[in-house]
């Protein structure tokens, strides 16, 4: 669905990406992790046409329908079936939830994308995030941070994309809200949507990803399956780079709960069962998802 080869990009004389290569297969979830300044957001901006790469190729599509997009403007890339939910959510604060969603369908309403049933998709987007249904006539600027993130993702989905980019999904959100959003994304992925995700909490990235890429100083330091990343220590290194304090807080929370074993994983309350090691949790959830796909 998406292929990046030897990509170089930056801002003026400041070079951020130094020859990265990434693949996002059809109907897969790929996650980028790494420290601040590693190049994650720059990668997404280059893919969606917000910045122009200085070298390399970005191809979107499959087989004979594949097309290079690295020289295209953002609106032309969007017409090909790519949607980008940027860092910071960027909702239109003085417009209602419904109007924000309809703006996401603008390419379809102007025949730049196949129109389909926009009204039905609007209702489907609102049903997917029940909190938006309760606030559909409310101004977007009055929503909570989690609700705005839901709105930003739902707005991106209104273009009926084949590939969805989400930058910093959990930034500023509570773990429960993040889990709720991730559950909806897993449902969309099962339905065939390809997703490229930036996630600051490494354990959550492992829970949903088919493949991960660890970026370090604008280069790919590791690429592979989450299980392999845990086995060779790439996950621990990425956690340390992105801020070990987050992980330490999770571990301390488990200890305070009286558990006999210290684990680096979400609280047991997420699943209602006993706490499990991170690598086992990730493998189990991904296995369940693949079984349901089959």
How do the domains of the chain map onto residue ranges?
Answer: 2-81+162-242, 93-161
**How high is the pLDDT of residue 269?**
36
Q: Which among 17, 12, 13 has a CA at the least distance from the CA of 47?
A: 17
For 241, half-sphere exposure in the C-beta direction (CA atoms, 13 angstrom radius) is 19
**How high is the pLDDT of residue 239?**
65
Taking CA 82 as the corner, what is the angle to CA 60 and CA 183, rounded to the nearest 5 degrees? 115
**How high is the pLDDT of residue 243?**
55
Q: Which among 88, 90, 93 has a CA at the least distance from the CA of 143?
A: 93
The residue assigned the tokens 């069962």 is 273
**How high is the pLDDT of residue 242?**
58
76-104 burial by CB neighbour count: b if 16+ within 10 A, else e?
ebbbbbbbbbbbebebeeeeebbebbbeb
Q: Which among 45, 71, 40, 52 has a CA at the least distance from the CA of 12?
A: 52
Q: What CA–CA distance (Å, rounded) separates 30 from 195?
A: 6
Helical ranges in 18-139 per DSSP H: 40-47, 74-79, 97-104, 106-109, 118-128, 130-134
DSSP code for 104: H
**Six token digits for residue 182:** 């991730």
**How high is the pLDDT of residue 146?**
83
For every one of its 294 residues, what pLDDT tens digit does the chain have, with 9 covering 90 and above?
899 999 999 999 999 999 999 999 999 999 998 888 899 999 999 999 999 999 999 999 888 889 999 999 999 999 899 999 888 778 889 999 999 999 888 878 787 777 788 888 888 888 888 888 889 999 999 998 888 988 998 999 888 899 999 998 887 777 888 888 888 889 999 999 999 999 877 788 788 999 999 999 999 999 999 888 888 777 676 666 655 434 333 333 333 343 333 333 333 333 444 333 443 334 344 455 454 544
- Residue 285, C-beta contacts closer than 8 angstroms, at least 6 positions apart: 207, 208
Q: What CA–CA distance (Å, rounded) separates 216 from 202?
A: 15
pTM of the complete model: 0.77
**How high is the pLDDT of residue 232?**
77
What values do phi and psi take at 43, rounded to 5? -60, -45
The residue assigned the tokens 């379809």 is 108
Q: What CA–CA distance (Å, rounded) separates 133 from 147?
A: 11
Q: Please name the fold of domain 2-81+162-242.
A: Rossmann fold (3.40.50)
């Amino acid at each position: 669905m998406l292929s990046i080869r030897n990509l170089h990009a930056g801002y003026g004389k400041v070079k951020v990406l130094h020859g990265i290569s990434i693949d996002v297969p059809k109907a897969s979830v790929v996650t980028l992790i790494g420290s601040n300044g590693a190049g994650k957001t720059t990668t997404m901006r280059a893919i969606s046409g917000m910045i122009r790469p200085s070298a390399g190729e970005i191809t979107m599509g499959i087989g004979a329908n594949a097309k290079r997009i690295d020289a295209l403007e953002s609106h032309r890339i969007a017409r090909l079936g790519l949607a980008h939910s940027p860092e910071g959510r960027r909702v239109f604060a003085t417009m209602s939830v419904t109007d924000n969603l309809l703006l996401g369908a603008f390419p379809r309403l102007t025949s730049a994308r196949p129109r389909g049933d926009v009204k039905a998709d609007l209702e489907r987007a609102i049903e997917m995030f029940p909190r938006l249904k309760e606030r559909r006539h409310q101004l977007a600027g009055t929503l909570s941070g989690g609700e705005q993130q839901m709105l930003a993702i739902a707005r991106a989905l209104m273009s009926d994309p084949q590939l969805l980019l989400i930058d910093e999904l959990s930034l500023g959100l509570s773990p429960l809200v993040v889990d709720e959003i991730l559950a909806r994304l897993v449902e969309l992925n099962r339905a065939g949507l390809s997703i490229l995700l930036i996630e600051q909490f490494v354990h959550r990235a492992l829970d949903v990803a088919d493949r991960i890429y660890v970026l370090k100083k604008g280069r790919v330091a590791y690429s592979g399956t989450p299980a392999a990343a845990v086995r060779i220590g790439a996950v621990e290194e990425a956690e340390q780079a992105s801020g070990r304090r987050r992980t330490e807080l999770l571990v301390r929370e488990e200890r305070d709960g009286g558990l006999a074993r210290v684990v680096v994983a979400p609280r047991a309350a997420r699943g209602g069962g006993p706490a499990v090691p991170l690598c086992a949790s990730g493998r189990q959830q991904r296995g369940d998802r693949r079984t349901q796909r089959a």
